[in-house]
């Protein structure tokens, strides 16, 4: 029977499960967004845990349909946001419980990773940049819950990541969602704002971004976009302004990285980096890698791939 590896990820935004085969091919990538009421900008952790408990049976059932005829030999799960002692969010407990519940009747090991490691691994796999699992690089993790610049060193399995920059206030995705909700869009707002921005034909006001080296600020984006919205009530123009502000900020932070780590590979990961407009602005730099949108937003594919590597290398639980 063909063998596969399962990954489970329960972030504060999405219930995800995935599987890959022994060659690293993604067999399934299931993700179900957590429900957020109209007008709200996120979930409390207690609500996120409850939503995961409701979503997981549906997600696992969809995964089961794909894996008929496959033997699951190990399960991977994200147990915390980052690989750090003080990194903890209750929402990941739901995924750990699901992983253990799946592994016990199958009598297979469970390998635990950080959510951030999964994002990085998914981006590497999507870009085909497997050489980065063997050498240091820089990673941007840009999402609704994180905007960090990381100096990454591969471990035997997974990655050690030291924060070398990022936001000093709002996360990029957080600012984007706040502007979108202000305009009446449904959370999360990034995909709809990308579509609206592509329809804009007006002159975009020049954004005043705040970047010092590898540290940036996104609170100004919310304030400037609010003023532009009050003045114009034009969702396409405001969305285009938000994308321009974000792109210009990330370009300047990238320049800051190049000043510290010249000619070092850079990987862009996280939900915000699923935006093709941002990717087009940042891809001109050499030795730069992006995940495709489906593997840039929250997913469990990277966790499944890390599980495969742990099993291959004979790691212990």
**Position 196 pLDDT exceeds 70:** yes
DSSP label at residue 170 = S
Q: What is the CATH number of the domain that holds 86?
A: 3.30.420.40
Query: Is the same domain home to 43 and 109?
Result: yes
User: Is 156 within the bounds of a domain?
Assistant: no
CA atoms of 13 and 267, how far apart (whole Å): 22
Residue range(s) defining the domain that contains residue 97: 2-133+295-312
User: Is 214 within the bounds of a domain?
Assistant: yes
Query: Is the same domain home to 94 and 200?
Result: no
> 154: pLDDT confidence band, cut at 50, 70 and 90?
very high
Average pLDDT over residues 263-289: 95
Query: Is the same domain home to 185 and 94?
Result: no
Torsions phi, psi of 262, nearest 5? -60, 140
Query: Is the same domain home to 204 and 274?
Result: yes
Q: Which tens digits make up the pLDDT trace of 164-180?
A: 999 999 999 999 999 99
Residues 6+ apart with CB under 8 A from 97: none
pLDDT of 317 reads 61
Q: Which tens digits make up the pLDDT trace of 40-83?
A: 888 899 999 999 999 999 999 999 999 999 999 999 999 999 99
CA atoms of 275 and 242, how far apart (whole Å): 12
User: Is 141 within the bounds of a domain?
Assistant: no
Q: Which tens digits make up the pLDDT trace of 200-237?
A: 999 999 999 999 999 999 999 999 999 999 999 999 99
pLDDT of 133 reads 94
Counting the structural domains of the chain, the total is 2
Query: Is the same domain home to 302 and 284?
Result: no
Query: Is the same domain home to 181 and 108?
Result: no
CA atoms of 199 and 208, how far apart (whole Å): 23
Query: Is the same domain home to 86 and 10?
Result: yes
pTM given for the model: 0.94
pLDDT of 315 reads 79
User: Is 10 within the bounds of a domain?
Assistant: yes
User: Is 81 within the bounds of a domain?
Assistant: yes
CA atoms of 78 and 304, how far apart (whole Å): 10
């Amino acid at each position: 029977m063909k063998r596969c590896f399962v990954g489970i990820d329960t972030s504060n935004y999405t219930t995800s499960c995935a599987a890959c085969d022994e060659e690293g091919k993604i067999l399934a990538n299931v993700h179900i967004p957590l429900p957020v009421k109209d007008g709200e900008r996120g979930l409390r952790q207690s609500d996120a845990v409850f939503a995961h408990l409701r979503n997981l049976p549906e997600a696992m059932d969809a995964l089961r349909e794909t894996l008929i005829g496959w033997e699951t030999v190990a399960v991977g799960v994200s147990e915390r946001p980052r690989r750090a002692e003080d990194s903890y969010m209750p929402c990941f407990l739901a995924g750990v419980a699901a992983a253990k519940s799946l592994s016990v009747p199958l009598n297979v090991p469970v390998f635990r990773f950080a959510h951030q490691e999964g994002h990085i691994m998914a981006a590497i796999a999507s870009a085909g940049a497997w050489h980065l699992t063997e050498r240091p690089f820089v990673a941007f993790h840009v999402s609704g819950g994180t905007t960090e610049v990381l100096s990454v060193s591969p471990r035997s399995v997974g990655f050690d990541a030291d924060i070398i920059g990022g936001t000093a206030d709002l996360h990029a995705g957080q600012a984007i969602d706040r502007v979108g909700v202000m305009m009446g869009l449904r959370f999360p707002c990034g995909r709809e704002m990308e579509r609206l921005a592509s329809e804009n034909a007006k002159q975009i006001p020049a954004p005043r971004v705040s970047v010092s080296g590898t540290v940036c600020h996104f609170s100004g984006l919310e304030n400037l976009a609010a003023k532009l919205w009050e003045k114009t009530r034009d969702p396409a123009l405001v969305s285009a302004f938000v994308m321009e502000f974000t792109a210009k900020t990330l370009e300047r932070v990238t320049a800051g990285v190049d000043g510290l780590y010249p000619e070092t590979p850079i990987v862009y990961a996280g939900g915000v980096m699923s935006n093709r407009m941002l990717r087009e602005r940042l891809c001109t730099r050499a030795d730069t890698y992006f995940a495709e949108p489906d593997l840039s937003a929250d997913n469990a594919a990277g966790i499944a791939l890390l599980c495969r590597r742990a099993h291959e290398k004979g790691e212990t639980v």
